Amino acid sequence: MTSHLGAACRAIPAEWGRDQQGGWTPTRWFPEPHWEVICPECGDDGGPRELQASEILTRRGYYETQLEARAAANRHAVGLE
Ligand SMILES: [Zn+2]
């Protein structure tokens, strides 16, 4: 594995809109969110889960807590998974 220093965790958005450049931007979050890892270097565009390829979803994961997601992002960032 190579390191992917752009990997970061975030709360999974509940609703989406478009920014001025036409990209996806979250507009609402769940009150008690789950968490995922976004890695642009793996080709993740950061958009809705429903539109992602299965390998991107596997990379994102689905975490109960921010702590777990941050740990997964850190492991991915240094090339451990
Ligand atoms: Zn990556």
* 1 Cα–ligand 1 center, Å: 9
For residues 17-41, b (16+ Cβ closer than 10 Å) or e, as one string? Answer: eeeeeeeeebeeeeeeeebbbbbee
pLDDT at residue 1, as a whole number: 65
Question: Is 3 part of a structural domain of the chain?
Answer: no
Query: Which pair of tokens denotes residue 37?
Result: 């890892």
Question: Is 1 part of a structural domain of the chain?
Answer: no
What's the pTM?
0.91
Number of domains in the chain: 1
CA within 13 Å, CB half, 66: 4
* 72 Cα–ligand 1 center, Å: 11
* pLDDT confidence bin for 52, thresholds 50/70/90: very high
Question: Is 2 part of a structural domain of the chain?
Answer: no
* 50 Cα–ligand 1 center, Å: 19
Enclosing domain of residue 23: 8-77
First-to-last C-alpha distance (Å) of the chain: 7
